[in-house]
Amino acid sequence: MYTLLKKEMSSFFSSITGYVVIIVFLLINSMFIWIFPGSNNVLDSGYASLDALFVISPWIFLFLVPAITMRMFTDEKKSGTIETLFTRPITDLKIVSAKSLAAFILVLFSLLPTLIYFFSVYKLGNPVGSIDIGGTWGSYIGLFFLAAIYISIGIFASSITDNQIVAFIIGMFLCFIMFMGFDYLSELAVFSKIDNSIINLGINEHYKSLSRGVVDSRDILYFISVAVIFTLLTKLVLQSRKW
Half-sphere exposure of 202 (CA within 13 A, CB side): 20
pTM: 0.91
Give the Cα-Cα-Cα angle 116, 223, 92 (nearest 5 degrees): 105
What string of pLDDT tens digits covers the 243 residues of the chain? 667 777 777 777 777 877 888 898 889 888 888 777 777 777 666 666 788 888 899 999 999 999 989 888 887 777 777 777 777 777 888 888 888 999 999 899 899 999 888 888 888 767 776 777 888 888 899 999 999 999 999 999 999 988 899 999 999 999 999 999 988 888 888 877 888 888 999 999 999 888 877 778 899 999 999 999 999 999 998 888 655
Which amino acid, 211? S
Q: Please, what is the end-to-end C-alpha distance for the chain in angstroms?
A: 24
Q: For residue 243, what pLDDT is reported?
A: 54
Q: For residue 34, what pLDDT is reported?
A: 78
Per-position DSSP letters for 34-86, written without gaps between them: IIS-STT-HHHH-S---HHHHHHHHHHHHHHHHHHHTTTTHHHHHHTHHHHHH
Question: How far is the C-alpha of 163 from the C-alpha of 158, rounded, in Å?
Answer: 8
Question: Using an 8 Å Cβ cutoff, are 21 and 68 in contact?
Answer: yes
Q: For residue 58, what pLDDT is reported?
A: 92
Q: For residue 156, what pLDDT is reported?
A: 95
Q: For residue 233, what pLDDT is reported?
A: 94
